[in-house]
Amino acid sequence: MKLTRMYLGEDGTSQFEDIEINLREFDVGAFSRRLRPDFISFRISEPGLVNDWHNAEAKTMIVVIQGSVQTEVSSGDTRRFDPGDICYAEDTEGPGHLTTDLEGPRLSMMVFLPDDFDVHRWARSFDD
């Protein structure tokens, strides 16, 4: 399983990074490490909605449940997120990103994480 991280790069542009999430197998399926969110909310938005350049209000995992969205970062790269995709936004400063709802309505689950959340540590093995 993977997620796409949006972050502020050392060059001052917002960028994407693909991160593989390590899973542990159990009798009932494979699980990631547990998250301890500050809170969770759900969002519905209509196709064609453009959310102009903005920053994430907090470190947030966005899980697309229904619909599709395209996100552009200031480095010029774009990604499309469809149902089941996870985007982790931690670009709380800098130029931010632009989102355009493509198909929908788009239903997303927003998982807001603490300021000290380290996505790389969370995604690694269960051994640390």
Over residues 32-85, the pLDDT tens digits come to 999 999 999 999 999 999 999 999 999 999 999 999 999 999 999 999 999 999
Model pLDDT, residue 75: 94
CATH (residue range 2-123): 2.60.120.10
Residue 78 pairs with which residues in a beta bridge?
72
Domain ranges of the chain: 2-123
Model pLDDT, residue 126: 73
Across 7-18, b (16+ Cβ under 10 Å) vs e yields bbeeeebbbbee
First vs last C-alpha separation in the chain:
19
* Residues near 55 by beta carbon (within 8 Å), at least 6 away in sequence: 91, 92, 93, 94, 96, 97
Measured CA to CA, the distance from residue 4 to residue 79 in angstroms comes to: 9
Model pLDDT, residue 87: 98
Q: Given a cut of 80, is residue 128 above it in pLDDT?
A: no
Model pLDDT, residue 62: 98
pTM over 0.85: yes
Q: CA dihedral in degrees (28, 61, 119, 75; nearest 10)?
A: 140
Q: Given a cut of 80, is residue 10 above it in pLDDT?
A: yes
Model pLDDT, residue 127: 64
Over residues 71-126, the pLDDT tens digits come to 999 999 999 999 999 999 999 999 999 999 999 899 999 999 999 999 999 998 77
Q: Given a cut of 70, is residue 16 above it in pLDDT?
A: yes
Tokens of 111: 């998982």
Model pLDDT, residue 41: 98
